[in-house]
Every structure is written in structure tokens, then in C-alpha cells.
Amino acid sequence: MVNKDFFAALADLEHERGIAEDVFIGALSSALASAYKKQMFGETGNVEVRLNPEKSTIRFFLLRTVVDDDVEELGDGEIYLKDATDIKKSAKVGDVLSEEFVPKDFSRIAAQTAKQVILQKIHETERDNTLSEFSDKEGELMSGLVRKVDMRNVYIELGKGQIEGLMMPTDQVPGEKYEPGDRIKVFVKRVRSGGRNAQVLVSRSAPGLVKKLFEEEVPEIKAGTVTIKSVSREPGQRTKMAIASADPRVDAVGACVGNKGARVNAVVAELGGEKIDIILWSENPLEFIAKSLSPATVVSVTQLGEKSAVAVVPDEKLSLAIGRNGQNARLAARLTGWKIDVKSESSASKLELGTADGTEE
């Protein structure tokens, strides 16, 4: 069956859309085979379509496996040996008989099938190309427009609306409200490609969001003079961020706070009032632990074992050091990577915890 116009149209699509002709050929072969199997043979045939662009031909074949005449009932795509030898004298049990046929109503069905396949392939290719462009956005900050909110997820148009970001419940901040039309900043967690389930996963709760917001606000971080060492966060409530300066002349904390608190306040505003503790990082882990328990004053920190320490604070500062529901101590532990046991001075004295092996602040 010759169809030069059909293949000419495929060649035009390859040129205009940048979609390889063989991609269309493979998809069309499968789609046409499926369409004609249902129309002509129901569930009892296996149809193969062979498209040859060089000869501009489309050929249809019914494939059937030869079975012994003693078989009581034919299965899907099977033919008895006695019938097979009428078609091909040398046929034997186990052979796959390929019989060419001319389909009925070819033009209408082929046109419908080709249209569906082509539209689907154009959509898939454009989506994959867009995803490919977004693949280097992982770990970056992006501005987006809330498009839709359902019972669980928030859908956000990213960039110039070329692609949709998905923000799942675990990536949403408790207490934050998202309404269609809202413009928000999100952290790109992952670009997940693969068939129809390709997605850009974004977050408002990830610690990376805080890090990227400070990079945006603080030129010293973008330039590499000030480094963010670690971030621990309980979204919507409090964040602790450890920073260090590569230049002794640059005040890392001052750079992040900004003139009259302008820089840190800009980040806090974007996070809806979330509290942020900016901690000066130290190479001495015990000193770092003491600083991480800010705003509490720490008397001493003593190492108990590998990555385990006890921090002693004045009696009146114990609740401040631990924080509401243990939040301050919990965030400090995540920030430093150490297990921290916080005790008051009176409790420490009973346990005879000294400061000889620790550090004082």
C-alpha cells in the first residue's frame, strides 16, 4: 500500500518540530496494528504493521503461531497446522505464519490513528524538551504562579509558564495558605522525568529554600566570601543557619543581617514571619554546639562520646535552651550533627560534669 503524501507529512513534522521520523514510525506502527486488530480480528489476531519511508509503503500482516491439529481449542493468534499448510506448504508446528492483508476502510482509520499518535508525540516531545531544560534547575530557587490547589497538592506554573511544578503536602509549610494567582518562591527539589509521570517537584518547606533566599539577598554569599555551612529548619516556625567567612575582614553574621536587619528581614518576610537564628560556625565542634543553642547562654559543653555532648546552661536559661517542645535543642542537634543533652548548672553539679574537657562561652 503506497502513501507518499503520508510519509511526506512525517518528513515535514520532523523538520518543523525536530521529532525524529523513526519515533513517529515506531509509534504509528503500534497504533495502527492495535486499531486494525480490534476492527478486523477482535482479540484473536496479532497484527504487525511495517512502514517503509524509503518506498513510501505501509504493509499489514496477520501473525499466527502454528499449533498441532490435535489442540482442542485455538488460543489468541494461533492457527492449526492443516490450515497453515494451505497458506504455506512448508509450515510446521511452532512457526509464526505471516500473512499479508489489505485492511478495510484504511484511509479513515489510518488518518484518525495518525492524528492521535502525532499529537501525542508532539506533546510528549515538547514536554521532554522542557523538562530537559529544567534539569539543571534542581536545587535552585524559582518564582512561580499558583495555578491550582486541590485537597492535597499545589500546582505552580514555573518560569514563563512552560512547565508545571508540583508541591506535595510534605513540601508545604504548615499554616501557609496558597491561592490561585499567588506568586511565590519555591525550591526545586527534583526534576523527575519518565513517560507521562514526568514532574518538577518543588518545595516551600525544604531547608534549601532558606539557603537560596539568603544567596539571593546577600551578595557576599553569592560571591563565595560568606559560606552557609548547614541549615536546620522546622518550616513555619524556626530556622537555624550556620555561616562562616572566608575573609577575616568580613563579618559573616553582619553580612546576613544587613543594614538595620534589611537582608534577614526580607527572608523572614518571604517565609511568612518564620524566626531565623544566624549562627557563626566554628571548627571546634564543642564551641559550635554552644553557639547553636542561641539565644540561650551556654556555660560549658563536654563531649561524652562520638558525636555526643552535654551542654550546661544557667538554671534560668534551661527552658530557653531547650525551647518550646524541645525545638531549640532539636534544631541545634540537626545543625551540628551531634546528639546534644542540655542540662542546668544545678543538675550538672550533681552529676559532677566539669568543664575541663569542654568549652566555655
Same domain? For 129 and 144 the reply is no
Last residue within a domain, chosen from 226, 256, 281: 281
CATH number at residue 217: 3.30.300.20
Q: Mean pLDDT in runs of 10 for the chain (361 residues)?
A: 69 71 77 74 72 84 89 84 91 90 72 73 69 75 93 87 85 94 93 65 96 96 95 96 95 95 96 96 96 94 92 95 96 97 88 52 42
CA–CA dist 179, 3 (Å, integer): 52
Sign, CA dihedral 330-331-337-342, equals: negative
* pLDDT score, position 73: 84
* pLDDT score, position 107: 66
Same domain? For 77 and 159 the reply is no
CATH number at residue 52: 3.30.1480.10
* pLDDT score, position 310: 95
CA–CA dist 290, 279 (Å, integer): 10
Q: What are phi and psi of 88, to 5 degrees?
A: -140, 110
Q: At what angle do helices 327-336 and 285-292 cross, to 10 degrees?
A: 150
Domain that holds residue 32: 4-133
* pLDDT score, position 19: 67
* pLDDT score, position 43: 56
Same domain? For 41 and 125 the reply is yes
CA–CA dist 263, 112 (Å, integer): 59
CA–CA dist 269, 259 (Å, integer): 16
CATH number at residue 160: 2.40.50.140
Same domain? For 115 and 189 the reply is no
Same domain? For 179 and 251 the reply is no
* pLDDT score, position 45: 64
Last residue within a domain, chosen from 89, 111, 133: 133
Same domain? For 166 and 125 the reply is no
Q: Are 45 and 78 in contact (CB under 8 A)?
A: no
Last residue within a domain, chosen from 281, 316, 345: 281
* pLDDT score, position 15: 73
> DSSP strand E in the chain: where?
46-52, 57-67, 78-80, 96-101, 141-149, 154-158, 163-167, 183-192, 199-203, 226-234, 238-245, 275-280, 300-305, 308-313, 339-344, 358-360
CA–CA dist 178, 184 (Å, integer): 9
User: Omega of the bond prior to 295 within 30 degrees of 0, cis?
Assistant: yes
* pLDDT score, position 106: 67
* pLDDT score, position 199: 75
Same domain? For 43 and 78 the reply is yes
> Mind giving me the DSSP string for 206-273?
SHHHHHHHHHHH-HHHHHTSEEEEEEEEETTTEEEEEEEESSTTS-HHHHHH-GGGHHHHHHHHHTTS
User: Can you tell me whether residue 186 is helix, strand or coil?
Assistant: strand
Same domain? For 103 and 14 the reply is yes
Alpha carbon distances (Å) from 329 to 36, 225, 333: 68, 29, 6
Same domain? For 128 and 164 the reply is no
Report the length, in residues, of the chain. Answer: 361
Same domain? For 8 and 118 the reply is yes
Count: domains in the chain: 4
